[in-house]
Amino acid sequence: MRIFLLIWACLFSGIACANPPPYEFYLEKDAKGVSGKVVIQGEGQWHYVGNVKDGKPHGNGVKVLEGGMLQYGEWVNGMFKGDGAVYVPTPFNSLEAGYYDDDKIVGDAAVIIMEGETYQGPYGRMGLPHGKGVCIKAGVKKECTYDHGAKVE
Domain layout of the chain by residue ranges: 21-90, 108-153
Position 113 pLDDT exceeds 90: no
Position 100 pLDDT exceeds 90: yes
Cα torsion angle, 80, 81, 84, 90, sign = positive
**Interval 28-75: pLDDT, tens:** 999 999 999 999 999 888 999 999 999 999 999 999 998 899 999 999
Respond yes or no on whether the N-terminal peptide bond of residue 91 is cis (omega within 30° of 0): yes
**Alpha-carbon distance 25 to 126, whole Å?**
34
Output the pLDDT for position 1: 44
Q: What mean pLDDT, rounded, does the chain reach? A: 86
Output the pLDDT for position 3: 43
Output the pLDDT for position 7: 44
